[in-house]
Amino acid sequence: MLEKHLTQTCQNHTITLSKKSPTIGDLNDALKNASVLEIAQWRFIQHLGDIRNLCDHHKGADPTKEQVDDLINGVAKIVKTVC
């Protein structure tokens, strides 16, 4: 959901990306560089991306319930506030 929303936000602001399949980090950086995101929003999205990677890539530790809750609530906040 986060990647989809950031992709749509890039399209809304006519931001072109060089990668065929950009990551959350790529999308986040492009939006920051285009001054669509403030630094605090950019950092928050980085944090959400880190939790998402914990959930998806099984790097030795599973996310905690609190981290999953933060991810769900954080994505809902980004969808409402970043357009």
Interval 7-27 mean pLDDT: 94
Angle 19-24-25 (CA atoms, 0-180°, nearest 5)?
Answer: 80
42 Cβ partners below 8 Å, 6+ apart? 28, 29, 31, 32
pLDDT at 54: 86
pLDDT band at 60 (very low <50, low <70, confident <90, very high): confident
The residue range of the domain holding 60 is 2-81
pTM: 0.87
- The span from the CA of 41 to the CA of 31, in Å, is 10
Average pLDDT value for residue range 53-81: 88
pLDDT recorded at residue 23: 92
Q: How many domains does the chain have?
A: 1
